[in-house]
Structure 1
Amino acid sequence: MNATAPLKGRVALVAGATRGAGRQIAVQLGAAGATVYCTGRTTRERQSEMGRPETIEETAEMVTAAGGNGIGIGADHLDPRQVRDVVARIDAEQGCLDVLVNDIWGAEGLFSWDKKLWEDDLDVGLHILRLAVDTHIVTSHAALPLLVRRPGGLVVEVTDGTAQYNESRYRVSFFYDLAKASVLRMAFALSEELKGFGGTAVSLTPGFLRSELMLEHFGVTEASWRDGAAKDPHLAMSETPVYIGRGVAALAADPDRARWNGASLSSAALAKEYGFTDADGSRPDWWRYDAEVIGEGRPVTTEGYR
């Protein structure tokens, strides 16, 4: 294996790579030498319902600049035909698929934190579940026949929260809670189905993620993010999308990754296992911090947690 490009010759599909965690997962796979197909709804020609400025072409260019081969394809993962076309293109151009990352979400701004199920808009709630769950199913249904063509394939289902956390906490919103729990279970189900094909499926969560949306919410930039702690002191424990991206790259490069099959993982857990850091050289452990500081009502501190 090439030490500087351990994923050279590997092919990945990162579904939902336009921004946030998906974008940096694609970039970090590229930094490890992979060819990365990056998909999402927003292109330079059209925007998704989210109305965001980031495009899938930009992500592909970032992958290539990082040392990989980035290929951007506009696709709506609720449309099976579009997803099948993406997979057919990968098959025609590469003949294989080694890594599938399902990071499709697109429901920010749609769910409500302050309404009970019966008070919420049912159509909006069901659309959230389609965006968060159906998209992952559609993508896996189309991509897994190519991924299992040769042993060793990896599927990463990106969600919010570990299995342990989500089993013990209500995520405030009915539809949000159900969406994130469903992705966790989906990873476990896929781990069972892939066993006989030498494949590995895991769920993976970041911690408090400083995505483009989160930075805007706090009115800061990545350069000034610490100023956002005045609005929420827990932002001091946040992490960049680079962190989870490096985690996926490390997992994909691990020849013994099958030991993780069916596991619920976090960026911090992978950092501890593989020795990588976030972009600033730290190793934030948000979920341990949440349990030991927030959960126990202790004063905010980052000491020992990043």
Structure 2
Amino acid sequence: MWSPDPKALDGRVAVVAGATRGAGRGIAAALGEAGATVVCTGRSSRVHGSGASDYDRPETVEETAELVTRLGGRGVAVQVDHLDSGQVAGLAGRVREEFGRLDVLVNDIWGGELLKGGPARWNTPLWELDLDDGMRLLRLAVDTHLITSHQLLPLLIERPGGLLVEVTDGTREINASWYRISVFYDLAKAAVNRLAFSQGHELAPYGATALALTPGWLRSEMMLDNFGVDEETWRDALLPDRPGGLPTAPEGFAASESPRYVGRAVAALAADPDRRKWNQQSLTSARLAVEYGFTDVDGTRPDSWSGRPGADAWRLGVFPAPTPCRRGPDVPESTA
């Protein structure tokens, strides 16, 4: 089984913005596995309270930082609301003062899961959605990334080789071809892919790299809770006739991935001296697993975006049935 190199990122400093749970926690943990110092930010704090968090969840940035340290890195927890430019400026000042450098910035801020809603609300037309909720979803998903980059990129570009990772849902190609849940969600995820492209253009003269990265079907804390399982027992969610009325996951859940998988993708990119070849690209954790040879925590290389039967998330109902793009009333459906 593949195992991480505990010295691969020794001496590197990373900020994972949105590290409280989900992909952010997995990314912070994988950077810790590789020996990095990881500043873990988010709104939910065991010490200072939940702040402006939209979720009533137990996870905190302190737990993530402690996990980073247990795995061999150095975890530092900082409570930050990334919609507050002043707080993010304070974060940038603290990183500069305490570490004097920034090698990796991961923009994984989201917080829109409740606003997105469950499958019953998906595919609802724009004019039937709550406008305030939709605008807040965009602020949480896009404005936070812009604010964080604005405040922290000046530190990242002070030495060549910096890496900016914009975490989203779906590659540029997928999101260009399929309607994703709602107008607001669709726009948010497409926008983050474009942010990576735009920032890559601006960072290239400084020897830095920006790219977009998407996990597949993620076994986040929320997803595991939904099926009444944990990371050790997640395959039980696929069993029929589950006790206690617990839902059975669609077949595609067999190709799901732990948050550590996308984290190992970030760690591999950060350790690659030739990472600039990925500048402005939109990538999946599965593609990078093949490229760099890492595995998920169970030794597998899942790919829920793959078109292979048995792994195609669209075909097996992981997401609502996609609506192919149309160019106009007389133009056939896209086959992209």
TM-score (norm 2): 0.85
- Structure number with larger C-alpha Rg: 2
Choose from 123, 127, 132 the match for 2:136: 127
**Distance in 2 of aligned mates of 1:218 and 1:93:** 41
Residue 36 of structure 1: how far off its partner (Å): 0.6
User: Which position in structure 1 is the counterpart of 2:145?
Assistant: 136
CA distance in 2 between partners of 1:70 and 1:266 (Å): 26
What is the match of residue 326 of structure 2?
none
Aligned ranges for residues 176-191 of structure 1 at < 5 Å? 176-191=185-200
The answer to whether 1:198 aligns with 2:216 is no
After superposing on structure 2, the runs of 4+ consecutive aligned residues of structure 1 that deviate more than 2 Å are 289-300
Matched, 1:22 2:30: no
Partner of 1:279: 297
SS in 1 for 2:76: strand
1:1-306 correspondence runs (5 A): 4-44=6-46, 45-47=48-50, 48-111=53-116, 112-229=121-238, 230-289=248-307, 294=312
CA–CA distance in structure 1, aligned partners of residues 303 and 252 of structure 2: 12
Structure 1 residues 208-236: Cα deviation after superposition (integer angstroms, max 9, x where no partner): 10000001111222222112223312111
8 Å Cα contact 2:42-2:79 kept in structure 1: yes
Residues 106 and 65 of structure 1, relative CA distance in 2, 3 Å threshold: same
- Give the C-alpha shift of residue 295 in structure 1: 7.9
Structure 1: distance between partners of 2:171 and 2:124? 24
The SS at the match of 1:155 is: strand
Report how far residue 290 of structure 1 moved: 6.8
Quick one: distance in 2 between partners of 1:17 and 1:299?
28
| Deviation per residue, 1:34-57 (Å, 9 max, x gap) | 111000000013122211100000
Q: Could you tell me how far 1:173 is from its partner in structure 2?
A: 1.1
For 1:119, the aligned partner's letter is E
Return the letter of the residue paired with 1:46.
G
Shift of 1:113: 1.2
Paired residue secondary structure (2:264): helix
Instruction: State the SS of the aligned residue for 2:217.
Output: coil
Using the TM superposition, give the Cα deviation of residue 97 of structure 1 relative to its aligned residue in structure 2, in angstroms. 0.4
Tell me the secondary structure at the aligned position of residue 211 of structure 2.
strand
CA deviation vs aligned residue, 1:54-87 (integer Å, no higher than 9, x gap)? 0000100111111111100000000000000001
Q: State the one-letter code of the partner of 1:249.
A: A
**CA drift at 1:3:** 5.5
Once the two structures are TM-superposed, the CA of residue 278 in structure 1 deviates from its matched residue by: 0.4
Q: 1:224 to 1:289 in 2, by over 3 A?
A: farther
Normalised TM-score (structure 1): 0.94
Deviations 1:129-159 (A, max 9, x none): 0000000000000000000011110000000
Query: How many angstroms apart in 2 are the aligned matches of 1:58 and 1:296?
Result: 34
CA distance in 2, matches of 1:185, 1:63: 30
Question: Structure 1 stretches of 5 or more lacking a match?
Answer: 301-306
1:291/1:176 Cα in 2 relative to 1: closer, same or farther (>3 Å)?
farther
AA of the residue aligned to 1:118:
W
The structure-2 alpha-carbon separation of the partners of 1:296 and 1:144, relative to structure 1 and needing over 3 Å to count, comes to closer
The offset of 1:127, in angstroms, is: 0.2
Contact preservation (8 Å) 1:187, 1:262 = yes
Alignment RMSD, CA only? 1.9
Consecutive unaligned residues in structure 2, runs of 5 or more:
239-247, 319-336
TM-aligned CA distance change 1:256 to 1:116, over 3 Å: same
| Distance in structure 1 (CA, Å) of the matches to 2:65 and 2:311 | 39
SS in 2 for 1:109: helix
User: Aligned-pair distance for 1:297?
Assistant: 5.3
The number of equivalent residue pairs is: 299
Bigger proportion of residues as helix: 1
Assess, with a 3 A threshold, how the Cα gap between structure 1 residues 90 and 297 changes in structure 2: closer, same or farther: closer
Please say if residues 33 and 68 of structure 1, whose CA atoms lie closer than 8 Å, have aligned partners that are also in contact: yes
Q: Partners of 1:84 and 1:34 in 2: how far apart?
A: 22
Say whether the 8 Å CA contact 1:204–1:264 is kept in structure 2.
yes
